[in-house]
Amino acid sequence: MPHTHSRHGSSGDDLCSTDEVKIFKDEGDREDEKISSENLLVEEKSSLIDLTESEEKGQKIARPDHSPVFNKLDTHAPSFNMGYLVSPYSYANGAPSGLPVTMANKIGLPPFFCHNADPLSTPPPAHCGIPPYQLDPKMGLTRPALYPFAGGQYPYPMLSSDMSQVASWHTPSVYSASSFRTPYPSSLPINTTLASLLPSVHATSHHVINAHAAIVGVSSKQECGVQDPTTNNRYPRNLETKNPSNTQSNDSKDTNDKKKPHIKKPLNAFMLYMKEMRAKVVAECTLKESAAINQILGRRWHELSREEQSKYYEKARQERQLHMELYPGWSARDNYGYVSKKKKRKKDRSTTDSGGNNMKKCRARFGLDQQNQWCKPCRRKKKCIRYMESLNDNGPAEDGSVFDEHGSDDDEDDFDDEKLEGSCGSADETNKIEDDDSESLNQSMPSPGCLSGLSSLQSPSTTMSPLNMNANSTSNVVFPATSNALLIVSSDQTTAQQRSTLVSNSGSSSGSTSSISTTPNTSSTVSPVTCTTGPCPGSSQERAMMLGNRFSHLGMGLSPLVVSTSTSKSEPFFKPHPTICNNPIFSLPSIGNCSLNNSIMPNTSRNPIGANPRDINNPLSINQLTKRREYQNVEMIEASESKTIVAHAATSIIQHVAVHGYHANHSLLNSSLNQHFHHQLNNRTEKPNRSEQKMLSVSSHSVNSSECHKESDSQAIASSKTSSAGSSDNGVISVS
DNA sequence: GGACCTTTGAAGCAC
DNA sequence: GTGCTTCAAAGGTCC
């Protein structure tokens, strides 16, 4: 309605937008405009034929073709509207053999039901009386009753051709027509006509009006509890009784006054996708926790091709269109504050926000010396604040420029949170793990009351993070800013062959790291769904991750597992250095082929799988964990920066250059550093200067695997020190 | 019992 | 125009 039309003006821009979402949406908007105009015409004409329709429908209703759907599916029907309205039953035999695959797609069946020649892709004929959506193993049977508006309350509009299609696929999926049977008094021309037009897939003897799931009682959840298993309607009986014969206007108004139906928002593309895919993911991952599943789905969503997504955008567009048609006066604003939880949420969030602000305010107001006057959240995060303060002083800007520099654009908006997250287990804690960890544990365990965002941060997970972060930062030498850093670890600790592979991968392009991580900055890429590319390679990975490999995301372990599954099934892409495997510091359960002794992971046992969404070990926290990991790596690099290591790194590079010569376009020195390195290395080859070595801290860190080598792997250090070209390889590769 | 978690997208609102 | 907020689904978890 208004908003929709108002959006039309921006369609042009949307088309130019790089956001494919908008593109899809825009296309839909234009069609919506067309549909709207068509509907107006149809509505006018419908009034002229209502009586005839109502009479005819009584005779024809038994016909199973439910034309609008199938008519619409019949290739082209430009004049469909009128022709349909006059003669809604276009099928000659009136008995479509079954729902086309496209229909199956549209009715919300999971992909494995819809694609290709799967027998299930062809739902039973409508006359069987089995709603196609029942095919859905999970959602189908539980699918709520759709848009159960009372008979005259939200009459189906005269559907245009497009809308007919919408209704056709919508009916089974969202606008269930299973149980709401309205007599449609002749006094309601539109309704009667609509009733005949409605794709009563169930081919009951009565007209079936689609009850839109968007309408919920005052309490949707309560209504949901009344779901009728026989009809798949979430709001079956009560509304059904509401629909009786004289449904009309007077009742609707009274009903609205007495009990305002809650008209839910139409599902967007992603929601539709989730509805379809949830069951599949649940089956694959044996997960039931929606939050975790949603994470997977969210990543899969991004992995979908443009075309695949466009399907859902189109569906969503149609959803909105139909919703708009059904509830012309409805606005998303109407649902604001629905369930009264708005107030609480708002309160919580205001608390959260105030807490977040207070963290700054407290620090600003009371200063670090008077933390006892800080509010609770601030006290909890005092280290974070402290660290961030020092961090800001040291370089990594609050704006996340460090990450941006490496192309981390997706999570820029999260960086603020990440800062806090990462800082919770950050560098300064490295040197006082026990103290801080325990403290953090004590403080963060009672996450309730915490900000939603911070709650997870402060969840037990965070308490673990120091240790894990130690492992991360020290072991993987992952430079956080870029996924290439993942290669650093590998390059440093793999065989020459593997190293070459890594080099080639890293040298190919920045995107080459996608083999390990689809996107550089989003930890999510590393996470389970990363390997979903392909038939469903990720399922096992996801499952594995969900079932206990979560630690792999906490640091070095993240890429190895993913890589091993995604790139090479036979041989892991990443082989951790024995030092890492044997070093208790690296307290990850498994790294590639390296099976770490779980005994050195004191915290792993305390995290039942998927038990608590707030638990860091829970896959729900993958993003945050990985983000934190990345950030923590930065912190660790900053914090553990040692001149000795730096010097060694610089020496390694210099030696490499000295031995192999320096090439301006050396693949190991990418463009961003070329110029700088060129200048620096020229100077260093002549006279290495340690004072400048800090500039190479990044690579040096990689070379030395940070504190791991420094503190517990003297052998590695020795080898790297003694090695000339070899060590330089390590270092230089890490640079790339 | 209800809020939270988690995801993306749409819509509304404030500035 | 931009940024923030709310809500949509889902079900386990927590208070």
pLDDT value, residue A652: 55
Q: Which residue gives the smallest C-alpha to C1' distance to B10?
A: A268
- Rounded to whole angstroms, the Cα distance separating A558 from A489 reads 11
Question: Is A339's CB less than 7 Å from nucleic acid strand C?
Answer: yes
Distance from CA(A564) to C1'(C6), angstroms, rounded: 41
Cα distance between residue A318 and residue A110, in whole Å: 18
**What's the pLDDT at A369?**
55
Check residue A709 and report its DSSP letter: I
Q: What is the DSSP string of A296-336?
A: HHHHHHHHS-HHHHHHHHHHHHHHHHHHHHH-TT--GGGGT
**CB of A548 nearer than 7 A to strand C:** no
The pLDDT tens digits of the residues spanning A249-283 come to: 344 444 444 456 778 888 999 999 998 888 888 88
The pLDDT value recorded for residue A227 is 37
The rounded distance, in Å, linking the Cα atoms of A382 and A380 is 6
A143 in contact with nucleic chain C (CB within 7 A): yes
Place of tokens 């409605």: A198
Strand B bases with any atom < 7 A from protein Cβ: 2-13
State which residues of chain A have pLDDT below 70.
1-260, 338-736
Q: How far is the CA of A677 from the C1' of C14 (A)?
A: 53
User: CB of residue A275 closer than 7 A to nucleic acid strand C?
Assistant: yes
Q: Which nucleotide is nearest to A269 (CA to C1')?
A: B9
Topology given in CATH for the domain delimited by A269-330: DNA Binding (I), subunit A (1.10.30)
Closest protein residue to C9 (Cα–C1'):
A271
Nucleotide closest to residue A268 (CA–C1'): B9
- Between CA A346 and C1' C5 the distance (Å) reads 9
Chain A residues 173-192, Cβ below 7 A from strand C: none
pLDDT at residue A272, as a whole number: 92
Which nucleotide is closest to the Cα of A297 by its C1'? B7
Residues A172 and A107 sit within 8 Å (Cβ to Cβ): yes
User: From the Cβ of A609, is strand C under 7 Å away?
Assistant: no
Give me the torsion for CA of A485, A487, A489, A492, rounded to 10°.
-120
Give the pLDDT of residue A215: 64
Q: What is the pLDDT of residue A318?
A: 85
A264 strand C contact, CB < 7 Å: yes
- Rounding to the nearest 10 degrees, give the CA dihedral for residues A151, A152, A154, A158: 100
Which of A371, A393, A390, A391 lies closest to A382, judged by CA? Answer: A371
Nucleotides of C under 7 A from a protein CB: 1, 4-15
Separation of alpha carbons A587 and A580, rounded Å: 9
Shortest-distance nucleotide from A24 CA to C1': B9
What are the extents of the domains in chain A? 2-263, 269-330, 484-601, 643-735
Q: What is the structure's pLDDT at A651?
A: 54
pLDDT score of A327:
84
Q: Write out the two tokens for A134.
A: 């029942």
User: A45, exposed or middle or buried, with CB in 10 Å at 0-12, 13-18, 19+?
Assistant: middle
Closest CA to A693 of A636, A625, A643, A637: A643
Strand C contact at CB of residue A72, distance < 7 A = no
Beta-carbon contacts of A579 under 8 Å, excluding residues fewer than 6 positions away, are A493, A705, A708, A709, A712, A713, A715, A716
The gap between A531 CA and B7 C1' (Å) is 18
